[in-house]
């Protein structure tokens, strides 16, 4: 674990919608580098990211972002000046080109000087590899390019905290790889929280991982520690094993099972996904010493 100081401190944060808790006593810290946020649909990931992006104030709990209190006006403004946010569905004005979209966001980030703004807009478009596509209408760009445009907007002003909500959804493998490279580069020297459904993204990118389920943090630690949750609990069989928590036929024709293996079972090396699935299925992760 990095010894660097925490940049985000979340303590016992709760958020409810019409009496239903979306986040329930969530606590964790973030440090510079990329942290992955895993969780099933409805786990509260987007709500948590909106809280960290200052779009929602928590009902209870304490929050410190980049050393500032988002509960105060000056604190919120100071955070927003150093924040980059990529929402799950970044909306685009239909008539905007890539350059116009990023330019518009640059204005919202208080870059009012035209020359300085232009230089910054070109810099971020260059960073995401879209400088040559800047004059194209966003609606004419591919899904991967649109995500890169949205990422370009998020990194305007070189933010210290970057909050990315499922940026790799809908991307093909090549686009996802390109996106990972970008996020890995951006994680150098700044705090990045990456919400994702893809355990591969976490394996490839993240220094730490948080698992959220039904508004509660079920795990936070190193990816290797999450993988260790499934140590000794993954096995192969020639027939479907009904005692397994989950099992699926692999390309080789055998079944890969997770759960409590039979005595004679042939154990397999676990993956991060195995650990994640077991954790969500109520695996006693605390026994592994990694539930924080």
6: Cβ–Cβ under 8 A, 6 or more apart, which residues?
29, 30, 31
Site membership for another protein, residue 216 (CB under 8 A) = no
CB of 144 to another protein, least distance (A): 19
Q: Which of 33, 35, 36, 80 binds another protein (CB under 8 A)?
A: 80
- Check residue 63 for interaction with another protein (CB under 8 A): no
Q: How near is the Cβ of 5 to another protein at its closest, in Å?
A: 24
Sequence-ordered list of residues with C-beta below 8 angstroms from that of 230, at least 6 positions apart, any chain = 258, 270, 271, 274, 275, 277, 278, 283
For 111, other C-beta atoms within 10 Å of its C-beta total 18
Angle at 38 between CA 34 and CA 43, to 5 degrees: 135
**Three-state DSSP state, 126:** helix
> Is residue 276 part of the contact set for another protein (CB under 8 A)?
no
Buried b (16+ CB within 10 A) or exposed e, 31-52: bbbbbbbbbeeebbbbbbbbbb
Rounded to the nearest whole angstrom, what is the least distance from the CB of residue 210 to another protein in the complex? 15
- Using DSSP's 3-state secondary structure scheme, residue 253 falls into coil
Of 28, 92, 235, 276, which one interacts with another protein (CB under 8 A)? 92
φ and ψ at 177, to 5 degrees?
-60, -45
Q: Does 112 contact another protein by CB under 8 A?
A: yes
Closest CB to another protein among residues 75, 259: 75
Which residue's CB is nearer to another protein, number 74 or number 253?
Answer: 74
Q: Is 72 in the site for another protein (CB under 8 A)?
A: no
Half-sphere exposure of 113 (CA within 13 A, CB side): 4
Binding flag, residue 97, another protein (CB under 8 A)? yes
* Helix H or strand E segment including 23: strand 20-30
- Tell me the window of 55-63, 197-205, 218-226, 282-290 that interacts with another protein (CB under 8 A): 55-63
DSSP state of 137: B
Site for another protein in 143-172 (CB under 8 A): 153
Rounded to a whole number of angstroms, the minimum distance from the CB of residue 17 to another protein is 6
Q: Which is nearer to another protein, 53 or 204 (CB)?
A: 53
Binding site for another protein (CB under 8 A): 17-18, 22, 41-47, 50, 53-57, 76-77, 80-81, 83, 85, 87-95, 97, 99-100, 103-105, 107-110, 112, 114, 117-118, 122, 134-135, 153
């Amino acid at each position: 674990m990095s010894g660097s100081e925490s940049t985000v401190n979340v303590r016992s944060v709760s958020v409810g919608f019409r009496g239903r808790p979306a986040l329930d006593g969530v606590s964790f810290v973030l440090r510079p580098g990329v942290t992955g946020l895993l969780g099933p649909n409805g786990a509260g990931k987007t709500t948590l990211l909106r809280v960290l992006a200052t779009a929602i104030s928590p009902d209870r709990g304490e929050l410190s972002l980049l050393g500032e209190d988002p509960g105060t006006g000056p604190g919120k403004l100071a955070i927003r000046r150093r924040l980059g946010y990529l929402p799950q569905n970044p909306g685009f004005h239909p008539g905007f080109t890539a350059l116009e979209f990023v330019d518009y966001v640059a204005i919202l980030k208080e870059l009012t000087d035209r020359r300085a703004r232009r230089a910054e807009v070109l810099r971020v478009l260059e960073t995401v590899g879209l400088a040559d596509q800047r004059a194209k209408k966003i609606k004419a760009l591919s899904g991967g390019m649109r995500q890169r445009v949205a990422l370009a907007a998020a990194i305007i002003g070189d933010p210290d905290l970057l909050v990315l909500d499922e940026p790799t959804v809908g991307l093909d493998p090549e686009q996802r790889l390109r996106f990972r490279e970008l996020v890995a580069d951006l994680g150098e020297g700044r705090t990045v929280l990456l919400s994702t459904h893809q355990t591969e993204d976490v394996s490839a990118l993240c220094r730490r991982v948080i698992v959220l389920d039904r508004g509660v943090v079920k795990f936070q630690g190193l990816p290797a520690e999450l993988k260790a949750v499934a140590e000794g609990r993954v096995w192969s069989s020639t027939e479907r094993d009904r005692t397994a928590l989950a099992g699926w036929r692999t390309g080789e024709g055998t079944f890969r099972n997770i759960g409590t293996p039979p005595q004679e079972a042939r154990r397999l090396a676990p993956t991060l996904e195995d650990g994640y699935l077991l954790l969500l299925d109520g695996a006693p992760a605390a026994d592994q010493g990694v539930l924080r």
